[in-house]
Structure 1
Amino acid sequence: MNTRPPIAAAVALVAALALGTTGSALNGGKADQPFMDAPKGQINKQPMDVVVMSDGFSNLGTKCDGPNRVYVIFHGNDKYGSVTVVPNDPRCTTR
């Protein structure tokens, strides 16, 4: 009786499971471990001006952070957006 095919299949199965487990840990690690964030410094909780665009378009938020004006483009709770910074904006004063 030949035992090599079952052993080869078992080794392949173990390897596939190991790779699948490692891949999901790398891909979903942040979502699975929400309290593993980097240390925080100062937190800016000042209000933001929000510009709501017509339906189907991204919205815009803007506020000063020190001497810089920060613009954030977002669309509801979607997973995409963008950030732009205007350094030393004259409308912003340092605190």
Structure 2
Amino acid sequence: MTRTVFVNGAYVPENEAKISIFDRGFLMADGVYEVTSVLQGKLIDFEGHAVRLERSLNELDMGMPCTIDELLEIHRELVRVNEIDEGLVYLQITR
């Protein structure tokens, strides 16, 4: 089964996910990541991850690409479409 990912504002099959060669995260490792565990289909401590994500982005003077509520919905949709019972949601935000 091909996994579904969320990249540049769209849900796409992982083999179709693309980033620009000019993406600063690709060129200079300028970005922030968070990994949220999923157990029994539920996100574990999403709020704690969201707080740390905002703090990390602020330290790099980077803005949030969406609201925390939108980010939670993206995570939930990824868990749903990928039928994750136990696993991880990996988030990376670059300039």
Query: Which protein is richer in helix relative to its size?
Result: 2
Q: Under a length normalisation based on structure 1, what TM-score does the superposition of the two structures give? A: 0.25
Query: Which protein is richer in strand relative to its size?
Result: 2
Higher Rg of the two aligned structures: 1
Question: Which structure ranks higher in relative contact order (CA pairs < 8 Å, sequence separation ≥ 6)?
Answer: 2
